[in-house]
Structure 1
């Protein structure tokens, strides 16, 4: 009877394993064109021009683990596109150093094509702004909770789960370089001030304290949620986890976030990059320019993070992408505060390298709860990596623009 029960549990999670680790299967008549492919494109160049010192921050604001906005998709779509000079101001950035020094860097933009690099303006007075309703922070679960807690070091230390990290301010992040972490700007800056703990920011890598005897088996909490079943969440038997921490050397935050109000249309620039004091020695995930939602495999996005309601556990989820603007992607992926800053990624075919590849195409920002035509609507929102944002983040990582021309 035990063997039958084990077989049943194994069978119930097979779809999830195929989704995570196996390439899609095509018929013999399928051509490479039928595969969802990364479409490489030339991206503009975003270069630093002048750096000046700024007054040292006070680090008094409490960290915000979630960001809300009264501006719905229609509000963002109706906002006028920024001009070239607007973009230069929005993509200028501050750098916070671990010694407390703060600098501001002006940037220049080259090879910019407005037809492929437009984004909604960053303005609290954008036309079409929805009437602000009360903000509901209690939960961000849509229907049955479809999240999966990852247990066992064979899974925790396996790519792509291994790229997820935790910030000491309570958010999540994603490894995008040998010593670089992509996260949400609101995890280190509330729109006006750097948050408490941002100067001594640390990045945590989840590791089991000891080898789990069952780590080679499949996690017991991988239920038939993936098939729409109602089986409730049950915590994994192995909760003996710890974090290994590495200090951040410097943090880059775009001025588009800092100059705006985080509760308005400013979610467009809710991203930041951390540089660690030493290499993390794990495999990282590449950046990619966010494709239109209809080009994503199954129009699906996925991400892993450290949700507050499951302390010490890495939580994975996937869902169908919904509405989108040029800068934001709306979806109903189940998530709780703490998952903010997680890298949203997709897996598609790389025709040049002739292999399947996962790339980070966005940053999970937070929750929107708005009044729209007299009815309440709610969304979870991710900031899309546009060509301009790709050029900026890639330069922060590489330190040159030559390696950042194709995204």
Structure 2
């Protein structure tokens, strides 16, 4: 086990490596992605939630070749439009349903086609036997505990927050937190803990202590803030149908603004357009209670809706903001941006082979437009860099 100072030195070296990586790439960048326009209808009132579901932190799904190769542009426009509608849950337990219209189908052709559609590469997956054993740690554990004021309060680690149902979230505005839908809703009903949902901000021990010599032995504290409203895409709320990871995201609006840095959203590019082809995320893994845990790894596979990787993670990390270094055309530099939401674990069955991955929901142009509308409340502000 590494000592705290050794861990800090290693984290410093990793961050330096991240800064240097972008300059090893050519400055030939893909053209800007077209962002569709979502036009919301007037919200319709729904019956109050029963809050009958149980939180499922260890979220696992199965996928075969048909669901892996499915693309948004292949779905009927009416079905896709319905999935982009959303429910809003308010703090008093009331809820509404908002339907949306999406611009003409011929204008959506670039939504799922903004990167070449890959196929699973042989040898990357794990050949499984009859008995399947859930794993979210691959080989040697590559996670790092983030400790000390210099890291916990510094960007990008300061953007990670706790969700009172046991998950993680990421700050994406002064009022909004992006997390996984399954942390608040099981596809049929809201979880019990969503009735009084809260977001937790880590406070390093030194801020609450007058004796600096005692800080090393103290745990970080958490300041909890109530959630004003929660929004979940209709694509996640499928009733009796089995839920998929494609729409496993939700947005929480806080009762009052926080004062911490937040991370901007981006349409997820192809992994070839990410610095180092790597993704990163920090979360509150259940096997390291009270600690913020950071990890990074290369993208192994990608479909139109999901990012497949072998970043080590445990239950509790669900809802973490998955980010990468993306080229920002307006700033003309590489920027860390949220390109996905860590969902959980998936068994991918392709050509008779069982592949084993941790999975993040990728932010497509349509999902970017939807989440952006939730944040701004004005579709005119939702344009991509």
Q: TM-score range by the shorter chain?
A: 0.7 to 0.9
Residues 1:244 and 2:237 are matched in the alignment: no
Write the distance in 1 (CA, Å) between the matches of 2:241 and 2:317.
Answer: 17
Does the residue aligned with 2:57 lie in a helix, a strand or coil? coil
SS of 2:99's partner is strand
* Structure 2: runs of 5 or more not aligned: 114-129
Q: Equivalents in 1 of 2:288, 2:374: separation in Å?
A: 32
Deviations, residues 100-126 of structure 1 (Å, cap 9, x unaligned): 00111110112553321249xxxxxxx
CA shift, 1:262, in A, is 8.0
Question: What SS is found at the alignment partner of 2:39?
Answer: strand
Residue 15 of structure 1 corresponds to which residue in structure 2?
13
Corresponding residue for residue 40 of structure 1: 32
Residue among 241, 244, 256 paired with 1:278? 256
1:65 matched to which residue of 2? 57
- What is the Cα deviation at residue 377 of structure 1? 2.5
User: Relative to 1, partners in 2 of residues 1:39 and 1:289: Cα closer, same or farther, differing over 3 Å?
Assistant: farther
| CA 101–298 in structure 1, closer or farther in 2 if over 3 Å, else same | same
Quote how far apart the aligned CAs of 1:199 are: 2.0
| Structure 1 residues not aligned, in runs of 5+ | 28-32, 120-132, 217-235
Cα contact 1:168–1:202 (8 A) shared by 2: yes
C-alpha distance in structure 1 between counterparts of 2:64 and 2:9, whole Å: 40
Q: Which residue of 1 aligns with 2:384?
A: 406
Q: Which residue of 1 aligns with 2:185?
A: 189
TM-score if structure 1 supplies the norm length?
0.81
List per-residue Cα deviations over 1:64-92 (Å, max 9, x = no partner): 11321111465321578211111111011
CA contact (8 A) 1:253 1:273 kept: yes
Per-residue CA distance 1:205-256 (angstroms, 9 max, x = gap): 111132599xx9xxxxxxxxxxxxxxxxxxx955511110110000000010
Instruction: Work out whether 1:52 is the aligned partner of 2:30.
Output: no
Out of 299, 310, 322, the position equivalent to 2:277 is 299
Match of 2:116 in 1: none
SS in 1 for 2:367: helix
- Counterpart of 2:117? none
1:107 to 84, 100, 113: 100
Root-mean-square deviation (Å) = 2.8
Residues 260/325 of structure 1: CA separation in 2 closer, same or farther (3 Å cut): farther
Q: What does 1:95-244 align with in structure 2 at a 5 Å threshold? A: 95-110=88-103, 113-118=107-112, 136-137=133-134, 139-211=135-207, 238-244=217-223
Q: CA offset at residue 349 of structure 1?
A: 3.2
Q: Could you tell me how far apart the structure 1 residues matched to 2:56 and 2:361 are?
A: 17
Please identify, of 272-281 and 351-360, the stretch whose mean Cα deviation from structure 2 is larger.
351-360
Task: Note closer, same or farther for the CA distance 1:212–1:25 as it changes in structure 2 (3 Å cut).
Answer: farther
